[in-house]
Structure 1
Amino acid sequence: MTDIPVIAVLGISIIVAIYSGKIARKAGLPSLIGYMILGTIMGTSVLSLITENSLNHLQFITDIALGFVAFTIGSELNLRTLRKLGKGIVLIILAESLAAFFLVAFAVYLLTSDLPMALIFGALAPASAPAGTVAVIQEYKARGTLTKALYAVVGFDDGLAVIIFGFSAALAVKLLRAESSEASVGLISSIMEPIKELGFSLGIGTILGFFFSALARKLRPLSELPALTFGFISLAIGLCIWLNLSLILTNLMVGFVLANTTPIRSSRKIVGQLRDYMPLLFILFFFLAGAHLNISALPALGLLGIVYMIARVAGLMGGAWLGAVMGKSETKIRKYLGLGILSQAGVAIGLSLMVRQMFSEIGSPHALEIGATVITTITATSIIFEIIGPICAKFALTRAGEIPKQNDLRV
């Protein structure tokens, strides 16, 4: 008998995921935890009903879901709202990213006495996974200043994370090449690569956003707006894959430009129509995220992984608190924002794969060892952060009073 077609397995999984999400809700957890657990069971770690090859073919679903998440974040970042939040948001993003970098780098260096390794782990620490936070916000219909602040922070901190990674990776490569007495690529030219990626991502997103805004204002009937939205998000995703740009930042800018160049009623209409489709995208995204999880990596966590997790949590939470205090943000943002930004997955794993590739080109035993250690450790810690991140985000929003009681209890 031939293998079950992957589309049939995916269909069954969506149906079952709906109810696994409800079970998670009954346990007081976000539904996405149920989706991820089901994905892990169906994936290569347990039943292997969805193979590695199938996951590769389904990558476009993950890309589309991330594109919609980033667009949603951008559409929530109205300049009027950001002005109300004040300079605290900028200070929070800077403080939490830099604190995570320095604290993790310091902790890893104390443990290993390996400066290139410490720089790389520090550089990976600020990278977040916005999908988990956004899924919790939308599932529980959270509203308030903490919610708006979370949208801004998880939207823009990945941009800063890419810049920090560019600086740190370039310095680490220079140190490793110096060890093996090889000619090294110039530090400045290495640093410019992530800056160019950031600039092109924001630029293309801005251009697409203006085109989208112009067409959306004139489109009739309005029932065709979701199709137009899907078209622009898909175009942005395709350009990012083609040009090797940031999918998250590009789509975030499309949504940001739309929100700030169209009447509030029009932009809310577009985003409101998308909310009907987001639950399906979240089911698919987190189910596939679970299927990607390799739970056999957990035993490899080790002391280094534990130190990385503790230092990252301390850096993000401490930095967010410090930035909020410096920016005179309100009390609930100071107390709870750090809990809402702990998720880590795709961006960090992608950057760790880049590290392995860059260091394999150096070829020295030390470089190869760091590359292998980074990918193993980040894969293992991401499993933990993908589970605890959304749970902590829900806790933060609940304690801040931004989840309506009936939504918290609804199953």
Structure 2
Amino acid sequence: MNALLLVALGGLMHAARSFGPAGPEGGASTLLAFGYVLVTAFFAGRLFGQLRLPRLTGYIVAGVVAGPMGLGLLSREMVGSLDVVNGIAVSMIALTAGSELELRAIRPLLRSIRWIALLGVLGTAALLSAAVWLLRSLLPFMAHLAPAQAAAVSLVLGVVTVAQSPAVVVALRDELRADGPVARTALGVVVLADLMVIVLFAVTSTVAKATFGAGADAAHTAATLAWEILGSLGAGALVGVVLATYLRKVAGGAPLFVFLTTVVVSEIGRRLHFDPLLVALAAGMLVRNATQVAEVLHRELQPSSLPVSIVFFAVAGASLHLDVLATAWVPAGVIVLVRAAGLLSGARAGARLARAPATVVRYAGFGLLPQAGLALALSTLFAKTFPEFGAAASALTLGVVALNELLAPAVYRAALVRAGEAGQGESPAPAAEAPALELLRH
């Protein structure tokens, strides 16, 4: 039935776009794209769930099939018009993650998180940089670079390709209702890794620009980092106070207020050069660890979190440039394998050093494999930072992201099941899906 519904929805979308020479335009085009993506990805996720695959993989595949690289039911302009959903989804996912990072509960896991982040993430970034350096003969954009320039660019690409995805980790945990040391450790590591990657990208890109004679300013870079990181955390604390005050003092309208807060964090925060992920994460952590309304916040996030997440992952799938794999599939495939080997072995070594439980040693590394928003954002930023060859280099980074985005969620889902943590969470799955079902009925 789900497959038949997907075929019918595709036919309706094709008919809607054929009404005019170029289909609907402007706001009508955006609304059409949003509605089609939401409904189609929702049913694709249910179909993948029946096949015992991650629902979010269904959302991504639905975007790939319907997008410009697939059937073309969504044009590049339509996909671009839905970019606003990405920031809101990242803020909402980070707020959810922060609201579940109870410091008292994860304190026994902090040693594991620290060692896995150091060995798994930093070690793999170095390993990936070395791999790019060794593969430079297969990368046309590095052919004419001096050795110092090639080394610096390799460092930047190592940082870009190691980026993690808290969004996927949170989505799979919620989908499986997973809880336990593996799920908590993986979430803690990817959150810490995001902060590390942001800092490392700023530092390595500054060094790389200096090798090209761009006159990098270390003081300016430090000031920018301080503003983006410390400013984001400070703004997040303020947002957390506002959220906690509203949830404690005001009787109604909490779901709408929480949703509007994520919109403000995404849109205004970006204009102030804050990182929406850090702002929302800090807000959620403050609510969880310094107030008594964390459970209320988690409950009020549910009505809008699932629909926004569905569109977020579907748009991520539609944005994938699968055509780049035709030109960079060999080095991209090698880097995917190197990345997986580095993260899994580094996570295992770090967990053993921390004397973590056996399940963490065996399975936590799989939570580091997925990629999504941050890796795509860094790939785009890399292309803008180095316009001479950035577009060609993006063929490599986007190819790596495409492979990891499609394959890694299923691997992490299997790891959570094998670790025995699926179904151990408190929130029942039907309740999480109810808002989307209610929305589709109307």
Q: Deviations over 1:169-189 (max 9, x none)?
A: 111111222xxxxx6223453
Alignment of 1:341-352 (within 5 A): 341-352=368-379
Write the distance in 1 (CA, Å) between the matches of 2:247 and 2:117. Answer: 31
Q: Are the counterparts in 2 of residues 43 and 50 from structure 1 also a CA contact under 8 Å?
A: yes
Hey, what does 1:236 align to over in structure 2? 265
Shift of 1:143: 1.5
Q: How does 1:101-250 map to 2 (within 5 A)?
A: 101-112=125-136, 114-177=150-213, 184-221=215-252, 224-250=253-279
For residues 314 and 16 of structure 1, what CA distance do their matches in structure 2 show?
A: 35
CA distance in 1, matches of 2:336, 2:222: 26
Shift of 1:104: 0.5
Provide the rounded CA distance (Å) in 1 between the counterparts of 2:317 and 2:385: 28
Secondary structure of 2:178 counterpart: coil
What residue in structure 2 maps to residue 92 of structure 1?
116
Q: CA deviation at 1:402?
A: 0.4
Aligned equivalent of 2:402: 383
Question: 1:21-51: per-residue Cα shift (whole Å, max 9, x none)?
Answer: 1221122211112222221122111232222
CA gap 1:59/1:404 in 2 versus in 1, 3 angstroms = same
Q: Given the alignment of the two structures, is residue 394 of structure 1 paired with residue 413 of structure 2, yes or no?
A: yes
| Structure 2 CA distance for partners of 1:108 and 1:80, relative to 1, 3 Å | same
Q: 1:302 aligns with which of 324, 329, 338?
A: 329
- Write the distance in 2 (CA, Å) between the matches of 1:358 and 1:8: 34
Deviation at 1:405, TM superposition (A): 9.4
User: Is this contact kept in 2: 1:99–1:318, CA < 8 A?
Assistant: no
2-structure distance, mates of 1:185, 1:287: 38
Which residue is equivalent to 2:301? Answer: 274
- State the one-letter code of the partner of 2:408: G
Using a 3 Å threshold, how does the CA distance of structure 1 residues 405 and 330 change in structure 2: closer, same or farther?
A: closer
How far apart are residue 279 of structure 1 and its match?
Answer: 2.4
The equivalent position to 2:79 in structure 1, one of 36, 55, 62, is 55
Q: Kindly indicate whether residue 351 of structure 2 is the aligned counterpart of residue 324 of structure 1.
A: yes
Relative to structure 1, is the Cα distance of residues 322 and 373 closer, same or farther in structure 2, using a 3 angstrom cutoff?
Answer: farther
Query: What SS does the aligned partner of 1:275 have?
Result: helix
1:192 Cα deviation (Å)? 4.5
Counterpart among 334, 339, 353 of residue 380 in structure 2 = 353
Distance 1:17 1:122, change over 3 A: closer
| Aligned residues of 2:347 and 2:364 also touching (Cα < 8 A) | yes
One-letter code of the match for 2:411? C
Q: Tell me the alpha carbon deviations over residues 334-354 of structure 1, each in whole angstroms, 9 at most, x when there is no partner.
A: 111111121123212222222
- Stretches of structure 1 lacking an aligned partner (at least 5 in a row): 178-182, 361-367
Q: For 1:104-139, what per-residue CA distance to the aligned partner results, in whole angstroms no more than 9, with x for missing partners?
A: 111222232631221111121331122122111111
Secondary structure of 2:256's aligned partner: helix
In structure 2, distance between residues paired with 1:88 and 1:147: 12
Partner of residue 70, structure 2: 46
Alpha-carbon RMSD across the aligned residues, in angstroms, is 2.3
**Most deviating of 209-218 and 253-262:** 209-218
Partner of 1:257: 286
Unpaired segments of 5 or more residues in structure 2? 1-18, 137-146, 434-442
Secondary structure of the residue aligned to 2:212 is helix
Calculate the TM-score normalised by the size of structure 2: 0.83
Q: Distance in 2 between matches of 1:226 and 1:120?
A: 40
Q: Compare 127-136 and 66-75 and name the one that shifted more.
A: 127-136
Aligned length: 392
Q: CA deviation at 1:386?
A: 0.6
Say yes or no: does 1:76 pair with 2:100: yes
